[in-house]
Chains A and B, each alone.
Chain A
Amino acid sequence: MLEIKNIGYSVGEKEIIKDISFSVNDGDIVSIIGANGSGKSTLMKVISNMIKAKSGEVILFNKRVIDYKRIDIAKVMSYLSQINDVFINLTVESVVLSGRYPYFSRLSSVKKIDMDIVEKMMDLTNITDMRYRKISSLSGGERQRVFIASSLAQEAKIILLDEPTVYLDPRSNQEIFDLLKRLNKDEGITIVIVSHDINNLLLLNSRFIGLRNGEILFKRESNQITDKDLNDLYEYKFNYVHHPKAINNIQLLP
C-alpha cells in the first residue's frame, strides 16, 4: 500500500537521505531506527509529503504521493510529528475532532458521524474522561494519546509516528506502545514508527529499517535482527541479554 522508491533528499550540497527504498504492506508495523541525524525524520516528512523528495518517489495506493491533494492524503495516511510546546488552549475533544477535518466542508457544522468517530477514538485511546480538559493541562503521555486519537479520527489506514514517546516517563512510554500494539492488532492499522526504544519495537514484532548517515544499513524482521546489526547501526558496542517476551531474545543494555 505504501512504496518508497529510491528516495533522496538534500539541503544545499548536503545529502540528508539517499536512495532509500522499502515497501509497507497492509497491517505492517515498520520501525525506522538509527542514530540522531541519520535522516529518520526527514524520511518521514518525505513520505507524508510535508517536504518533496529531490529524487525518487513515494507511491501511496498506486498513486504518487505528490499527485495527491493534501486533504486526500489525510484520508488514508496520518502523520504525527513531535509537538513539544502547546501554546493553544484547546480542549481534548476539539483536538480529536480536528482529525475529522478532511471530511468537513468549509461552513458546515459537525455531523453525528464525526462525533461518533471522535467518541470511538477517545475510547480506544482511553482519554474519554479528560475530553473537556485543556490540552495544556495534560501530562506528556496523555497529550500524546490525544494526538494519536486525533490521527485515528482521520480514519487513515496508515499512521506515521515520529518519536511518539520522546520525553515520556517509562509508564507513559509503555502505555503508548501498548496502544500501538492494540491499534495494529485489533483495528488493523498500519504503522510506520521512528523511535529509539529498540526493546519495545522488538516486542511489537515490527520490521526494521536501519538508517545510518542517510542510507539504509539493513532491513530485518524482528526475529532476524542481531547484536551486530545494532552495534553497527549506532557504532557502539552494547551488551545484550535475553528478554523473556521477545522472540529473538534481545535486550539492549549499555
Chain B
Amino acid sequence: MRLYITILLTLIISVSILLSAVFIGSDYSSLVDKITSEQLRSIIINVRLPRVIASFFIGGILALGGLVFQSLFRNPLATPYTLGSASGASFGAALYYALGMSSIFPTLYGAPIFTFLGAFLTVIVVSLVSRASRDNNIVLLMGVALSFIFSSLIMFIQYVTDLHLSQQLLRFTFGAMDGITYSHLILLFPVCAITFFIIVSFRREINMISISDEFASSRGVNVDNIKITLYIVVSIMIGTVVSIAGPIGFVGMMIPHIMRSFLGSDSKYFIYMTFIVGGLFLTICDTVSRIIISPIQLPVGIVTSMIGGTFFIFLLINNIRRSN
C-alpha cells in the first residue's frame, strides 16, 4: 500500500513539476527589454514547452541507459557516461560536423547516426575488456581512459577548426538543452518508446545477468545475444540523446542506483520509476540551469555534474566502507 501511495505521489509531483517548469524562467528577453505577453506566450509554447518535454525524456533515457549498464557490468559506477560511451558519441558528433557531413545528411538524422556509431564502438571495446578481465576496476579505468582520449580529440578538432564550428562543438563537451525544438521531439519519441519497450521485455534477463553471466546462462539465457542487443539499444539511446543535448553526466548513475535501493531491481516498478524519476531530475536540473544566473542560461551538464560528482564521491566512500 505504501508503495502505491509513493508511486501515485511521484506521478502527481512529476506532472506538477513538468507543468510548472514551463512557466518558470526569465521574463526578460535580454538584459534591457521586458518582453510582452505575446512574446512570452510564444516563448512558452515554442521554446520552453519542447525543452521541458525533451528534458523529461532525455533524463528518462539517460537513467535507463545507466540502469542497463550498471546491471550488465555489475557495478553501480558503470554507466554509458563513465564507460566512455557518451564521449564516444560526442566524438562521433564532432566528426560529423568537422567533416562537413551536415551538408550531406540533415543534422537531425545524420548526427544521431554518427553519435550512435561512436557510442556503440566504445561499448564494444569496453565489453571486450570486461570479457578479458573479470576485474571491474580495469573496465572502469578503460572507460575513463577512452573518455579522456575522446575529449582530447574533440578539443583538438575544436582547436583546429573555425570559430563557428568550435562554438557548435562546445555543446559536445558538456550537455546543454538550449535550441531544442519540436522536430527534436519527433526523433526522441520513437527512440524512447522502442528502447523502453525492449528494456522492459528484457527485464528478467537483465536481472539474471546482474547476478553473473554463468548464472543467467545456466538458466537458459543466451547471454551474448542479450548483451549485444542491449549494447545496441543503449547506444541508440545515448547516440540520440547526445546528438540533441550533448553528453549529460551522472543522471544515469544516480537515479537507477537510488531507485534500486528504494524499490529493489526485481520490482515491477523499477524500470518505470527509474525512467520517470530520471526525467524529473533532468527537468528540475534544466529549470535550475535556466534561472540560476538568468537571463544567462547555464548548460544543464554543469548542474547535473555538480550534483552527480558529489554523489559519485559519496558512492565511492560507501564502496570503500563496504569492502572494509
Contact = CB atoms under 8 A, between A and B. Distances in A.
B204 A89 contact: no
Given A89-B265, A94-B266, A104-B204, A71 B220 contact: yes
Nearest to B78: A87
Contacts, number: 82
A101 B220 contact: yes
A154 B216 CA distance: 12
With a 10 A CB-CB cut-off, give which of B76, B207, B219, B221 has the most chain A CB atoms: B219
B262 to A, nearest CB: 10
A79 B214 contact: yes
Contact of B211 (A74, A78, A88, A151): A88
Contacts of B215: 80-81, 83, 98, 147
Contacts of A107: 201
Interface in B196-212: 201, 204, 207-208, 210-212
B220 A83 contact: no
Contacts of A87: 70, 74-76, 210
B249 to A, nearest CB: 21
B261 interface: yes
Interface string A95-124: 100110110101100000000000000000
B140 to A, nearest CB: 13
B207 A88 contact: yes
A94 B210 CA distance: 13
Interface in B79-95: none
Contacts of A71: 220, 222
B227 interface: no
B264 interface: yes
A95 B265 CA distance: 11
A154 B210 CA distance: 19
B69 to A, nearest CB: 12
Interface string A63-88: 00000011111110011110101111
A217 interface: no
A74 B265 CA distance: 23
B264 A89 contact: yes
A101 B219 contact: yes
A90 B222 CA distance: 21
B211 A91 contact: no
5 contacts: A75-B220, A95-B211, A98-B204, A102-B219, A107-B201
Interface of A: 45, 48, 50, 69-75, 78-81, 83, 85-91, 94-95, 98-99, 101-102, 104, 106-107, 134, 147, 150-151, 154
Given A81-B212, A98-B208, A150-B219, 19 more contacts: A50-B217, A70-B220, A70-B221, A72-B220, A74-B218, A74-B220, A79-B217, A83-B215, A86-B211, A87-B70, A88-B211, A90-B207, A91-B266, A98-B204, A98-B211, A98-B215, A101-B204, A101-B220, A154-B219
